[in-house]
A and B are shown apart, each in its own frame.
Chain A
């Protein structure tokens, strides 16, 4: 596609529920990043894929967070047993290579109630 596509755009989850957020990167982009953005803050790095390999997951806040990119294209960020502090906008970005300019999707706004 022309840009990075994320779905759903909005998600309301009850505390304790599992959620899955999808990212479809720009075609041909090798690198894919997930970020978490709280209100009034800059995006915080969660994890990075190069093709299907997850090369850095140092930003994942707990073992309830899991990400995958099994075929090196679409990626899914899964959050198990959601907590209120997980409420944020989850942004996906892709780039041709790891240290070049990255382009963001529209984000998924997760609200845990």
Chain B
């Protein structure tokens, strides 16, 4: 079992809709959770981080963490075509300091 799992997609949503991206992780002691956006041919760009159970909102983005279920999600409200990218979930495990990434979910927002 890979340490961080994401559905590779593609996830297709119409412009203005809510996009929901999900991620599960295997290390129950993980403490830090991150969402990166990666446009084709570009490097990952940090968009959200969350350390505590619950929701964290930043503009159109909401990160949700449920440590009991080992589940992290990212909601993008009012999706725009410019949100079309691959979204990478990353976790820092209990014993480590390095980010462990999932394979990423490709999001396509159609206008």
Contact = CB atoms under 8 A, between A and B. Distances in A.
B55 to A, nearest CB: 18
A102 to B, nearest CB: 6
Interface of A: 31, 33, 35, 40-45, 48, 50, 55-56, 59, 91, 93, 98-107
Contacts of A104: 36, 43-45
Interface residues of B, number: 23
B31 interface: yes
Contact of A56 (B90, B92, B96, B104): B96
A93 B36 CA distance: 13
Q: Kindly name the residue among B43, B90, B92, B102 whose own CB sees the greatest number of chain A CB atoms within 10 A.
A: B43
B100 interface: yes
Given A42-B102, A48-B97, A107-B43, 18 more contacts: A33-B98, A35-B99, A42-B88, A42-B90, A42-B103, A43-B44, A43-B101, A45-B100, A50-B97, A56-B97, A56-B98, A93-B99, A99-B31, A99-B32, A102-B99, A104-B36, A105-B43, A106-B43
